[in-house]
Structure 1
Amino acid sequence: MRLVYRETQKPVALGDTVIINGNSFEVTYFTKPHKASSEGKVQVTYKGEEESTTSREYYVGIIGAEWIEREDRVNAE
């Protein structure tokens, strides 16, 4: 199972910069889905100009990503 960006099919990597609602965030952690109907989560840290270390957790779809080659689904891609 691999986490990739939908548009490019490139793997999501720790340290990637992603844009959410016009703000830059750094990917700091992601988890595989815990069941077949789940999409998994990604943790990101705000990369603004101020010295903030705001971390947030979202479903992977918010960064335009998806899990491929899933072993947990009957019709795996």
Structure 2
Amino acid sequence: MKSEIGKVKSYGESRGFKKLIDRKWKADEIDGWEMTAIAAYVLKAKGAYRVPSKDEKLFLFMIFKNIKWVDTIRN
């Protein structure tokens, strides 16, 4: 994903969307979900997830492009 994030920045530049262009800005969880949703749209992701954190001020979001079913064998 890291190699494709430039597409999200380009999307922001073409639309004058400052939050997609600037590297750093003050944000909250809602901003994180909004940016994740835009990135998911631009990169054609199949899902998104917010990683739990003990720090109430730290939010980490991920998007998924490839989802595969994994069969598990139970002993």
- Whether the TM-score (by the shorter chain) exceeds 0.5 is no
Compare the two structures and name the one with the higher strand fraction: 1
TM-score range, shorter chain: under 0.3
Compare the two structures and name the one with the higher helix fraction: 2
Bigger RCO of structures 1 and 2 (CA < 8 A, at least 6 apart)? 1
TM-score of the superposed pair, with normalisation by structure 2: 0.28
> Which has more radius of gyration?
2
